[in-house]
Chain A
């Protein structure tokens, strides 16, 4: 269902660089806060990993029977792909969910292993006669640890911190999928709109941050080597205190920045249309009520949104009826759109959600031909093209070719034959290939912004082969009961967005690269009646 813009043609490096700079300048304060947030996530998680990991490392060293399983566990954690880990955590109460808290948990788990391991190896590397000397001088366990063992292991521990930090800068970009913010948000935004500049806008600073962290900690490692003159006693105490205070501030700040008390959390999946709809819903609430909104746009896929909603971390997002029926509620495909709506509404109601009135458009599969062919040959329905297709070339996306309810079903439903076996093409290229007469018929998404712009014509599915994918806002029933005014404002949005208007807005985002919040503002200018402030019934 992902609307895809055309792939951008190769550009000279200098122009990429100029556009990158331009992007950063245009997003100045947002960009800066993304960097700071990214740094805060990494610093806080590595900090906590040190506070936990060093004592665990000491334990593993002193009591191998207790410690070795711990290291083994940390090893296992390390092998879990970070994307999967963020996914696992969403439904888990207290530590999981969306946002910075869950991101911190994951980042801490990843940072623990390098810190623990280097602590153990640093301690093991100490010359036994030095430890023996400490004991012979009458040091207690704690004195031996704090005055001899830890100072001698410090360069090794710092090496572990360095690894953890560099890896953390990378992993933190993936935390974008659960809405934790930071530079990953640009990368995801760029990926969902196939805009390499936006991807680079997040990836380049992330790489630079990793390099800077690597260099700075490498320097600290050298500086902390044994045998350098410093006022150790004062310094260690002060550094530890300042570090813990900074850590508490960081974590407090991160969590405070996304407190959602009393806010309506509006989400979206990770493609353009979803982000636009999420922004429209957010603005709708802000314009019509006194409620506060927290945006968690550009999350992962359907599963992420569904799990987050069930966990209570997400109040509202837009789903498609066909997707809800098959992907979320695992029911067989039904073609009658009223029946699909009824079943989905019932399934949502049974699981604590309420399906709000459909927005209007149906983002289903469509079979597209060129507008001039349609006019010249008088084509209106898919049945109409059956007699021409034996001489035509086709381009279908790979997913459409593979799916049981895609190409094969389509061919048998309409008795279609083609000049050659269909070519699997990149979905984003099929629209251009059709317009440029390389192929004559393609499959596409009904709301893709290029359909109108390239003068393509969507043939009517007269045999009702494709299941309906009507866009419906879904809200947690608990939230709706607490704020009944939401019912009123979403009723006003019912049926307002047509396929043409959705195509237009997708085009503005994908091709014209307009800002999503500006696109949403444009929407409300066109539909002033749908966002009148209402008097709160509370």
Chain B
């Protein structure tokens, strides 16, 4: 696989009816080894080009869902399918290189410069050096970090918010068709966050990716999601476009909507799960 993933994407037509959903959960049960039952008969379908904003209380299994998608975890029962194939039938390496992942803990490599961090996947894909350099500068600009300043810095020389943006740049590096984002803008100030939302929409209008974005900010969920999923007690309490969610009379969703501000405060202070 020497071909950058992005070129493959350009041929895609946004046609949801004839092709399978980009991501599909079908009756998935997942229990952490020696841990709680996180997902119980969980089903979900995300169409190509959709952005699912996933909200839910801390510990509800949002991160677990993302890890099931890129095969960091495999389900105990049920099927997780990506582009119509179960994740267990995918070659894990191949699958993960098609899926950009912004980790909740960011997880930058502390021994690599910012440029090298962003270039991790292009390197693995064997891109030529000039192309990598060009792409890194492009991505740093995209996430609002001046390449001249940040290129050769190391992660510990960055603030939390700057690191988070590098994490986003790293996930976008080979222009993957699927993007998983785990509270990607959590530690950004409101102004920068608004800028990032704009960038997000700009990217989406150019090349429509299938995105799952976990957030605890209801405003963010409404701003980014074409679909909004509310996770409660191992199942989806609701999955609908934002406009419909507001009018939902599902008790779980209502309770969640009411309780959300308090949860948000608690999650904000906790930083990680």
Contact = CB atoms under 8 A, between A and B. Distances in A.
B96 interface: yes
Contacts of A138: 92-97, 121, 124
Contact of B110 (A130, A135, A137): A130
A260 interface: no
B51 interface: no
Given A138-B94, A227-B156, 13 more contacts: A129-B107, A130-B110, A133-B101, A134-B109, A136-B72, A137-B96, A137-B101, A138-B97, A139-B120, A148-B109, A152-B111, A226-B111, A229-B113
A297 B117 CA distance: 60
B70 interface: yes
27 contacts: A127-B107, A129-B103, A129-B105, A133-B103, A133-B106, A133-B108, A133-B109, A135-B96, A136-B72, A136-B99, A136-B101, A136-B103, A136-B107, A137-B97, A137-B120, A137-B121, A138-B93, A138-B95, A138-B97, A138-B121, A139-B124, A152-B110, A226-B110, A227-B111, A227-B156, A229-B113, A229-B152
Interface in B150-172: 152, 154-156, 170
Contact of A133 (B99, B107, B111): B107
Nearest to A224: B111
Contacts of A462: none
Interface in A108-139: 127, 129-130, 132-139
A143 B97 CA distance: 13
Contacts of A6: none
Contacts of A129: 103, 105-107
Contacts of B170: 137
A151 B152 contact: no
A227 B121 CA distance: 19
Interface residues on B, range: 20 to 34
B121 A132 contact: no
A129 B106 CA distance: 8
Describe A's contact surface by its main secondary structure. helix
Contacts of B109: 130, 133-134, 147-148, 152
Nearest to B103: A133
Nearest to A140: B93
A132 B111 contact: no
Interface in A26-59: none
A439 to B, nearest CB: 72
Nearest to A151: B111
5 tightest A-B CB contacts, nearest first: A226-B111, A133-B107, A138-B96, A129-B105, A138-B97
Interface string B39-57: 0000000000000000000
A133 to B, nearest CB: 3
A9 B32 CA distance: 75
Contacts of B152: 229
Contacts of A139: 93, 120, 124
Contact of B124 (A130, A132, A137, A227): A137
B93 A132 contact: no
Nearest to B94: A138
Given A129-B107, A151-B111, A135 B72 contact: yes
A130 B113 contact: no
Contacts of B105: 127, 129, 132
Interface in A69-107: none
Nearest to A143: B124
A130 B117 CA distance: 11
A530 B112 CA distance: 74
A137 B109 CA distance: 11
A147 B120 CA distance: 10
Contacts of A151: 111
Interface string B82-100: 0000000000111111010
A258 B101 CA distance: 59
A336 B95 CA distance: 89
A134 B101 CA distance: 10
Nearest to B117: A133
A296 B170 CA distance: 63
B173 to A, nearest CB: 9
Interface string B48-72: 0000000000000000000000101
Contacts of A135: 72, 96
Contacts of B155: 227
B72 A132 contact: yes
Given A137-B120, A138-B97, A229-B152, A132 B113 contact: no
Interface string B126-152: 000000000000000000000000001
Contacts of A134: 109
A55 to B, nearest CB: 20
A229 B170 CA distance: 20
Contacts of A133: 101, 103, 106-109
A152 B110 CA distance: 8
A145 to B, nearest CB: 13
A136 B121 CA distance: 10
Contacts of A229: 113, 152
B110 A227 contact: yes
A151 B120 CA distance: 15
Interface string A133-177: 111111110010001100110000000000000000000000000
B186 to A, nearest CB: 14
A134 B124 CA distance: 11
